[in-house]
Amino acid sequence: MTESAQDGEYDAWLDSIESDNGYYLECSNGHGWLPPRRVCPRCHDQDLSEVDLPESGEIASHTTITVPTPQFEDDAPYVTAIADFGPVSVTGLVRDVDPDDVSIGDVVGLDVGERVTTGERAVVFRPR
C-alpha cells in the first residue's frame, strides 16, 4: 500500500461530506448505497445517480468499544454507531456525546473527523 494513494470514490465521498455536499448513490428503484458502486446489488440496476444525503439521520444501533484494534488504541473507549439516513445507513464514530448518553433514535448529522490514534479521516456523527 502506497501511503499517498487514496481510495478512489471512497475518499471522494469523504471530500464531499467535508465540503457539505455529501451524497449517496441511488438506483432507479430508490435503493441507496455508498460509493464505490457500479450496480445496485438489490435490483441489478446500473443507472446509479448521486443524490444529496439528508441533513440528519437516526442512530439505529450503537456500541461503546473498550477493546479496540491497535489503530484505535488511543480512541478507546469510543462509540461506533450505524445511523439511518433513509435510503442509506452509514457507520461512524459518535462524537460530542457522553457514551452513556447515546441512544437508538438519537438524531445526528454526518461529518468527517479525525481518529485520535492515527489522525486519519473518519466518518463521525454529531448530535443535531
| Residues found near another protein in the complex (CB under 8 A) | 7, 10, 33-34, 41, 60-73, 75, 78, 80-82, 88-93, 99, 104, 115, 120, 122-123
Q: Which of 6, 21, 29, 61 binds Zn ion (CB under 5 A)?
A: 29
User: Alpha helix locations (H) across the chain?
Assistant: 8-18
Q: Which of 12, 43, 104, 107 binds Zn ion (CB under 5 A)?
A: 43
Contact 59, 48 (CB under 8 A): no
Write the CB contacts of 89 (distance below 8 Å, at least 6 apart in sequence).
57, 60, 82, 83
Contact 112, 123 (CB under 8 A): yes
State the nearest-atom distance from the C-beta of 42 to Zn ion, in Å. Answer: 5
Task: Read off φ and ψ for residue 15, nearest 5 degrees.
Answer: -55, -40
State the nearest-atom distance from the C-beta of 56 to Zn ion, in Å. Answer: 24
Contacting positions for Zn ion (CB under 5 A) = 27, 29, 31, 40, 42-43, 45
